Amino acid sequence: MTYFWLKAGHIIFVIFWMAGLFMLPRLFVYHQEAPEGSEEAARYVERERRLLKIILLPSIIVVWVLGLMLAMTTGAFSQGWFHAKLLFVIVLSGYHGWLSAYAKKLARGERSMDGKTLRLLNEVPGLAAVVIVILVVIKPF
């Protein structure tokens, strides 16, 4: 029964985490389109900060804790598909960290990327999710 609760919690928090990872780059696009130093830009700084602190940070922590507990419970550390999944989750975690750093840059008024690039970055979590779900469900190796 513990396995099912761990799995349910892991999936729930993966959904929260992924929602935040989809939403943050979109906020960046709107933020960069707002006039620099405007009230609108300040509102986006606050929205990005809240998304990072209230949704993304707690979600990534719970995803990692429950995911590692699941891996220990099921013996997944010895399975090839899990190593590949873990690699993608590490990359996605790095992407999360990069987004967090970019939010801080935007808050300081540094706009080093254009809207098109940010829109493309919005696809990263979706592509990672496709690969991760295939690895977990199909277990190709």
Q: Which residue ranges are tagged as binding site for heme?
A: 10, 85
What is the Cβ-side half-sphere exposure of residue 133, based on CA atoms within 13 angstroms? Answer: 10
Q: Which amino acid is at 65?
A: V
Q: Would you list which residues are annotated within the binding site?
A: 10, 85
How far apart are the C-alpha atoms of 23 and 17, rounded to whole Å?
Answer: 10
Query: 50-86 burial by CB neighbour count: b if 16+ within 10 A, else e?
Result: ebbeebbeebbebbbebbebbbeeeebeeeebbebbb
Task: Determine the Cα–Cα distance for residues 47 and 50; give it in Å rounded to an integer.
Answer: 5
Instruction: Specify the 3-state DSSP secondary structure of 139.
Output: coil
